[in-house]
Homo-oligomer: A and B are copies of this chain.
Amino acid sequence: MNERLNRQIEFIREIDKLKTIYRQSYLMDKSRHENDAEHTWHITLMAWLLEEHLDQRKVNLLRVMKMLLVHDLVEIDAGDTFAYDEKGQEGKFEREMAAAKRIFGLLPVDQRDEMLALWLEFEQRETLESRYAAAMDRIQPLLHNYFTGGKAWQEHGVAADRVRARIVFLQEDLPDLYSLVQHLIDDAVKQGYLRP
């Protein structure tokens, strides 16, 4: 087996671990927490499905999908940090950067560099592609919370303003989705799913 293919197979084998990294979100049927691999599939498909809601239609969808497919791989080493866990945010970027170097470092150099660059682009959220990808990553757990009666929100005592603060960046690029999400948050408060 040639050396490039050997490295690619090792990477495919290693990233299987993403299926064992569990998040705070529950499946829509509330039966269990969802894991990062499932979450990633879901938001990659959402990025395709919801593209028409971008106010600027110039997004490179393939780039968005690639970014999403690898955005959580660092959690294989660094673990999932709950969005509303303030303590967990300390040193998070350093932990994740070390993870990115190890995991993408399994690949041939050109592929390592491509994935590392996409992961950094996602983290920095400066391009339209990365803002759109991040929007999917924020909207999906919000839908899961809303449609499970706020199960994870309630377990962690999350308040509406903290949820609102995390989606405010949608306003400019994705006005329709921003309105939808605002409506869901308001309704969640009304239904008692989310602390006012």
Interface on A for B, CB 8 Å cutoff? 1-2, 4-5, 8-9, 11-13, 15-20, 27-29, 31, 34-35, 37-38, 40-42, 44-46, 48-50, 52-53, 61-62, 65-66, 69-70, 107, 111, 140, 143-144, 147, 176-177, 179-180, 183
Query: How many copies of this chain does one complex carry?
Result: 2
Q: Decide: B5 and A180 in contact? CB cutoff 8 A.
A: yes
Residues on B with C-beta less than 8 A from A37 are 37-38, 41-42
CB distance from A146 to the nearest CB of B (A): 10
7 closest pairs, A vs B, by CB? A41-B41, A16-B28, A37-B38, A62-B62, A19-B38, A45-B69, A37-B41
Chain B min CB distance to A164 (Å): 18
Shortest Cβ gap from A64 to chain B (Å): 10
Q: Does B176 lie within 8 Å of A50, measured CB to CB? A: no
Chain B residue at minimal CB-CB distance from A114: B48
